[in-house]
A and B are shown apart, each in its own frame.
Chain A
Amino acid sequence: MSTIKLTVNGKAVSADLEDRTLLVHLLRDHLGLTGTHVGCDTSQCGACVVHIDGRAVKSCTTLVGQANGTNVTTIEGISRGDELHPMQAAFRDNHGLQCGYCTPGMIMTAIDIVHRHGDELDEATVRQELEGNICRCTGYHNIVKSVLDAAGRMKMAAAAE
């Protein structure tokens, strides 16, 4: 057992947890943040992606101890009140989701992709960078469109600030 202290979506969290507890289970089972999903047990599918200190990480292979003292953002923490994050809006507008199960992880990965590549993104880069996320529903066609669309929207949003 260890005491873990971290910030999740801007709120301080402290919990006594078994050392083997994974970050995804802290989020889902202890904090009730069920937007982060589990789709595999081998860190292949990306349904569990969250941001730790601003970088996309698979929470299913992160021990809570590794996240101690960090800033974690989940899918529940990226929109501002009723205003969707541009990536969320782009997924909706481009029909980038069907069952929605892979979607939170896709969106969190995609935001990180745009942060790292800025407007140099093209279709091939997006496809390559989505390597760690599996979607069984969409055939990726509209996910790729969503990410490219969001890259433009995020740039505009940043410029407006």
Chain B
Amino acid sequence: MGIEGIGARVTRKEDKRFITGKGRYTDDVRLHGMTYASFVRSPHAHAKIKKIDVTAANNMPGVVDVLTGQQLVDDKIGNLICGWMIHSKDGSPMKMGAWPAMAPEVVRFVGQAVAVVIAETRNQARDAAEAVDVTYEELPAAADISAAIAPGAPQLHPEAPGNVIFDWTIGDEAATNDAFAKAANIVAMDITNNRLAPNAMEPRAAVAEYDTAEEHFTLYTTSQNPHVARLVLSAFYNIAPEHKLRVIAPDVGGGFGSKIFIYPEEMVALWASKRVERPVKWTSDRTEAFLTDAHGRDHLTKAEMAFDKDNKIIGLRVKTYANLGAYMSLFSSSVPTYLYATLLSGQYNIPNIYAEVISVYTNTTPVDAYRGAGRPEASFVMERLMETAARQLKVDPAELRRKNFITSFPHQTPVIMAYDTGDFNASLDAALKAIDYAGFPARKENAKKEGKLRGIGFSCYIEACGIAPSKAVGSLGAGVGLWESAEVRVNPVGTVEILTGSHSHGQGHETTFAQVAADRLGIPLNQVSIVHGDTDKVQFGMGTYGSRSGAVGMSAIVKAMEKIEAKAKKIVAHQLEASENDIVIENGEFKVTGTDKSIAFPMVALAAYTAHNIPEGMEPGLKETAFYDPTNFTFPAGAYICEVEVDPGTGKTEFVNFVAADDFGRLINPMIVEGQVHGGLAQGIGQALLEHAVYDKSGQLMTASFMDYAMPRAEDLPSFKVSHTTTLCPGNPLGIKGCGEAGAIGSSAAVINAITNAIGNNRLEMPASPDRVWHAIHQQQAAE
């Protein structure tokens, strides 16, 4: 590797603009004649709209127009879609209720838009939105899973009787029941995975402009996948044909899944810009974000694990209720099914698995993918079960895991996934060493002397990343292919521009992608630039989520680079009268092996463009495109161990140590990878200790601001000890597995396992607030 190539800890190319305030986010976009949109939102969780009176609003200063859901229907703008078809166990397709971008008749969650005001200034738009007079007839609401599935529950959508969207299963029920019948021990528990708000720091925003002469739209938006946004807006929502819509996702201030989806506000901004014939900007405030950004998690699970007399797992049975909120968001159906239940084998050899997933509608914000999407839920179930099993079977939690680890690869689980490679013992060993596991009993004793309860908790996670291949996801119900594209453009002077269909919203693609190209060509990093996030520049792409940018996006770049190198070698061979096979690339030069003949890369580039002396019949230029579709998911895995101290007087948990040992395959830039892990850990620990989106019984969101929703702050978190073990992914040319979600997937269980270990009471739900922990301690003391 060169000093800036693969494996180097180079600082990020994109940082200069961010640290100097020159980043360009959607809300920074200002267009000539721009107007501002403010939405009128339902204060009720479930209600009929009787009447919307816009007269007063229309007469307010600065108001350009007031538009309602009925006008959207009249203009034949389509309803929002869910792009992944799931079938129930009886073979029937999922039951989807219509989701209009603004409700014309019925609202089903607090914050659902019913009208929009377009005005000259932000404040005028807000003032007028307040003046829109909506008459509602309130309906009874179902604000959680239990309320939605209770007999006689309020019905959300006529299409989904009993509020059940699908009742889906995976695995072999009979074989699993058999295993349980033969079990020496069974460990059973109820597990709740609490609801979260993703809270990217940049609120969602959209700026839409319509060109009346060209009948062409431009949309600046906070999106993780601008091409998919354009495709969906064109193909399903009837906004504009694809070639008449340009979607630009400029600098995006974090996504964590919440910016994958197409939201009502983007559609309405586009549609309104045509109606008022002026650019329209909408920027979410934080409360709107809490109410309308897709939430994450929210599962109720009954899980049972069967062991033989040697403590080997022989079966796993899981029944999960998943809350999808009031409407089905773009990928929502895939999250509790193919992204969750297929990971229920964890790192373990489990011969029999049967899982049932029942998804329900509730009068709450739609739920969709959030950092890890399904895999954190699966990992939490598995690792809480394993820890509980170790306690029940009275064996060391590390040893129980080790005994059941999968050790030979490839490994086919009973729930679809074929793990390609891994070394679970290696990561566990690394984590045990980093935390000094052997020294724990002594540390616990010392803590006890100081009146503190000390605990240690494990979590050995696995995830399926790089979501792909297209054929596989297609067969599972996905509405799109999941490949990635890249175009490599070598300029006549030898600088390189790489156009990628991936999208960076904090992951540092401008640096890591450039490192790959610089490494292959042996040129300095500053001669490579990465272009992304604009559908007019990049032809197509699937965007960034599911840690797919490295494994899939970079692989596409490698494929395009291979074509570039092959053509460049032909030119060099022709000019130096050598055989193509003898040309090697070293330090920015194309050399004939075994001779001193060489041509520097910029001269090769120039030769391709002057075309004075290239092989007969060769096209001039040096520009290649590749679409890369992998052959399998990738399987990052690792071991996390958390050591905590709990104050029995207050219930407050303090971190003593948190160690993470991950296997992400090849690391392009370890500094960036570690940063990704830190961020993921913070989100997983945030869920375990602090974060919770809480609804009251009537469906009001009680945590709709940062005053009520406990975001992790610097003081809430420890410094992390992260390390890496490596098995290379055989499924892509770079051997990359992906690192973006690992921290969020693995950490919650480690924290809860550590706290329950400390307090000696295994019943503890997330978030483990001091209040909950204190009560759990006292409950335990009362029981003893």
**Residues of chain A at the chain B interface (Cβ within 8 Å):** 18, 20, 25, 28-29, 32-42, 44-45, 47, 74-76, 79, 84, 88, 91-93, 95, 97-104, 107, 123, 126-128, 130-131, 133-144
Contacts and interface: CB of A to CB of B under 8 A. Distances in A.
21 contacts: A25-B122, A34-B21, A34-B24, A38-B283, A41-B705, A45-B286, A75-B21, A88-B20, A92-B15, A95-B672, A97-B15, A98-B676, A99-B252, A100-B19, A100-B253, A101-B23, A102-B253, A104-B18, A134-B201, A136-B711, A139-B743
Interface in B234-285: 251-254, 256, 283, 285
A92 B12 contact: yes
B674 to A, nearest CB: 8
Contact of A101 (B201, B287, B672, B678): B201
B325 interface: no
A135 B706 contact: no
Contacts of A128: 714-715
Contact of B679 (A126, A133, A137): A137
Interface in B181-224: 199-203
Contacts of A134: 201, 706, 711, 713
Contacts of B713: 130-131, 133-134, 140
B59 interface: no
Nearest to A88: B19
B783 interface: no
A22 to B, nearest CB: 10
A68 B283 CA distance: 27
B201 A75 contact: no
A62 to B, nearest CB: 16
Nearest to A104: B21
A95 B675 contact: yes
B678 A39 contact: no
A136 B705 contact: no
B6 to A, nearest CB: 18
Contacts of A91: 15, 19
Contacts of A29: 30, 122
Given A95-B672, A141-B720, A131 B715 contact: yes
B526 interface: no
Nearest to A134: B711
A43 B254 CA distance: 20
A18 B120 CA distance: 14
A99 B30 CA distance: 21
A82 B18 CA distance: 14
A99 B252 CA distance: 7
A127 B21 CA distance: 23
B717 to A, nearest CB: 6
Contact of B719 (A28, A101, A123): A123
Given A84-B19, A91-B19, A136 B679 contact: yes
B22 interface: yes
Nearest to A35: B21
B25 to A, nearest CB: 7
Nearest to A87: B19
A97 B15 CA distance: 8
A40 to B, nearest CB: 4
B707 interface: yes
A49 B717 CA distance: 22
A35 B27 CA distance: 11
Nearest to A128: B715
Contact of B717 (A41, A74, A95, A139): A139
B714 A143 contact: yes
Nearest to B508: A98
Given A40-B705, A97-B19, A138 B253 contact: no
Across the A-B interface, the 10 shortest Cβ-Cβ residue pairs = A35-B21, A100-B18, A101-B253, A99-B506, A139-B682, A75-B21, A139-B678, A44-B706, A98-B506, A34-B28
Nearest to A140: B714
Interface in B694-740: 705-707, 711-715, 717, 719-720
B507 interface: yes
Contacts of A32: 30
Interface residues of B, number: 60
B675 A140 contact: no
B202 A101 contact: yes
A140 B11 contact: no
B681 interface: yes
A136 B199 contact: yes
Contacts of A136: 199-201, 254, 256, 679, 682-683, 711
A39 B203 contact: yes
Given A47-B201, A99-B505, A101-B253, A41 B715 contact: no
Nearest to B507: A98
Interface string B461-505: 000000000000000000000000000000000000000000001
B715 A127 contact: yes
A140 B706 contact: no
A125 B141 CA distance: 46
A22 B670 CA distance: 41
Contacts of A28: 27-28
Contact of A102 (B201, B671, B682): B201
B286 A39 contact: yes
B610 interface: no
Interface centre among B254, B287, B505, B712 (most CB of A within 10 A): B254
B135 interface: no
Contact of A33 (B21, B200, B201, B256): B21
Given A84-B19, A92-B15, A18 B506 contact: no
B518 to A, nearest CB: 19
Interface string B524-548: 0000000000000000000000000
Given A39-B201, A138-B679, A127 B672 contact: no
Given A34-B28, A38-B27, A104-B21, A140 B717 contact: yes
Given A99-B506, A136-B683, 9 more contacts: A44-B705, A84-B20, A99-B254, A100-B14, A104-B18, A131-B714, A134-B201, A136-B679, A137-B201
B11 A93 contact: yes
Nearest to A45: B706
B146 interface: no
Contacts of A25: 122
B201 A126 contact: no
Contacts of B32: none
Interface string B62-97: 000000000000000000000000000000000000
B631 interface: no
B408 interface: no
Nearest to B287: A41
B612 interface: no
Contacts of A42: 286, 705-707
B724 to A, nearest CB: 16
B18 A144 contact: no
Contact of A98 (B17, B254, B717): B254
A9 B52 CA distance: 47
Contacts of B283: 38
A138 B25 contact: no
Contacts of A76: 20-22
A18 to B, nearest CB: 7
Interface centre among A42, A92, A100, A123 (most CB of B within 10 A): A100
A58 to B, nearest CB: 12
A29 B29 CA distance: 10
A12 to B, nearest CB: 20
B581 interface: no
Nearest to A130: B714
Contacts of B711: 44, 134, 136
B16 interface: yes
B123 interface: yes
Contacts of B22: 35, 76
A126 B286 CA distance: 26
A31 to B, nearest CB: 12
B286 A37 contact: no
Interface centre among A41, A76, A98 (most CB of B within 10 A): A98
A52 B743 CA distance: 38
